């Protein structure tokens, strides 16, 4: 099933990244893009913002940036989230095609 929206959009110098989080997983990892969302697994529980903090750390590592440049802007208590990444960012090859294939 092809996604109608890309998992990543440029908004000026910033990026908006749509993710789907699986909390309490057996490992911490950024997987692939499915249904227009970057799939993320974290061992953290979805309580007291622990899973959100783990997702921010995983994305920071994935993009090679400081965690302070990432914040959850939608879906703080849901599995589907949108995160904003401040400043210019070079996209990892695993998702660069998402932006290139959609004229944004």
pLDDT digits (tens, 9 = 90+) for 14-62: 999 999 999 999 999 999 999 999 999 999 999 999 999 999 999 999 9
Q: How much is the pTM?
A: 0.85
Q: Nearest Cα to 55, choosing from 44, 47, 65?
A: 44
Q: How much of the chain is in helix, strand and coil states, percent to nearest 5? A: 25, 35, 40
Q: 102: how many CB neighbours lie within 10 A of its CB?
A: 15
pLDDT in tens, 49-102: 999 999 999 999 999 999 999 999 999 999 999 999 998 888 887 787 776 554
The structural domains of the chain, ordered by start, are 8-100 (3.30.1200.10)
Burial of 55 (0-12, 13-18, 19+ CB in 10 A): buried
3-class state of residue 13 by DSSP: coil
């Amino acid at each position: 099933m092809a996604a109608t929206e890309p998992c990543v959009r440029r908004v000026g110098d910033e990026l908006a990244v749509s993710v789907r989080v699986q909390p309490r997983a057996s490992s911490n990892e950024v997987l692939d893009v499915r249904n227009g969302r970057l799939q993320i697994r974290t061992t953290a529980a979805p309580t007291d913002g622990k899973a959100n903090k783990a997702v921010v750390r995983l994305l920071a590592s994935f993009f090679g940036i400081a965690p302070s440049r990432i914040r959850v802007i939608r879906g703080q208590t849901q599995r589907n989230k949108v995160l904003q990444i401040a400043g210019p960012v070079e996209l990892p090859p695993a998702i660069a095609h998402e932006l290139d294939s959609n004229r944004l």
